[in-house]
Amino acid sequence: MLNVHYSRFGDLERADYLVTHPSVPLESYRDGFGNWCTRMVAPAGDFILSTDGIFRDTGLPDPTATEAAQHAVEDLPFETLVYLLGSRYCDTDLLSEEAWRLFENTPSGWARVQAICDFVHSSVSFDYMQASATRTASETLSGRQGVCRDFAHLAIAFCRCMNIPARYCTGYLSEFGQPKPYPPDDFAAWMEVFLGSRWWVFDPRNNSPRMGRILIARGRDAADVPLTQTFGASTLTQFNVWTWDVQDDAIDVPPDARN
């Protein structure tokens, strides 16, 4: 899953084609969540995947609506109910009691989701060196450390415990509007919650509206939207992500940045 989500397809100025080296046949399809996926058989030896596109963006931060209300469960649209359930990394069964202890007395709706994000943002320490492919939301709470996906999983699990549909998102997140020097770019994880009859972006890792957020995929949690899923032995030897402003940044892609 390395192509932009269909909801941003209309913003493409230059298509983000998936390219492989060596070249192999590609098959594409949409998964059960509507994400665009590509599958291939990788040959033995070094194998490079790359994609590069140009997107139009409003330049505005994530929208907010502090008046957005929480729906009673019986009033939720059917398609949102799956995002109330526990999932691989969002173990709501282990977190429900703590969620209600922490957030039962917060105002419902937007304020409650923001309280959840505030708690996760202040209680979990961000550390790239502590990344784990198997860490669940309850383990993030107990260990108090992780990366952006762990922040998202914990906040999603808390929202679901409080009867607020929440889904996991992965994509590009620029540093536009942030103070320089910028840290190295990476893929990012955030969440969307259903309030006031629509989905809204919340980002417990950064905990503030951001510019230049480009969605790749949505699902229940990271298990539904792996950027790469391999069947057989493989070793990631190099990984580069970049998000630049074509108008303001001097774009000089190093030769190895496309690997």
Q: Give the distance, in angstroms, between the CA of residue 34 and the centroid of all CA atoms in the same chain.
A: 15
User: Please, which pLDDT band fits residue 250 given cuts at 50, 70 and 90?
Assistant: low
CA distance to 39, 103, 115, 184, per residue, from 25 (Å): 9, 50, 47, 32
CA distance to 14, 48, 119, 155, 189, per residue, from 219 (Å): 26, 26, 23, 15, 11
pLDDT single digits (tens) 185-199: 889 999 999 999 999
Q: What pLDDT sits at residue 43? A: 95
Q: Give the number of domains in the chain.
A: 1
Using the predicted structure, report yes or no on whether residue 255 has a pLDDT greater than 60: no
62: domain CATH number is 3.10.620.30
Q: What pLDDT sits at residue 249? A: 61
Q: What is the rounded CA–CA span in Å between residue 3 and residue 35? A: 9
pLDDT single digits (tens) 28-82: 999 999 999 999 999 999 999 999 999 999 989 999 999 999 999 999 999 999 9
Q: What is the rounded CA–CA span in Å between residue 221 and residue 246? A: 32
Give DSSP secondary structure letters for 161-229.
HTT--EEEEEEEE--TTSPSSPPPP-EEEEEEEEETTEEEEE-TTT-S--S-EEEEEEESSTTT--S--
pLDDT single digits (tens) 17-30: 999 999 999 999 99
Contact call for residues 223 and 136 (beta carbons, < 8 A): no
Dihedral over Cα of 86, 89, 94, 97: its sign:
negative
- Whole domain around residue 164: which residue ranges? 1-259
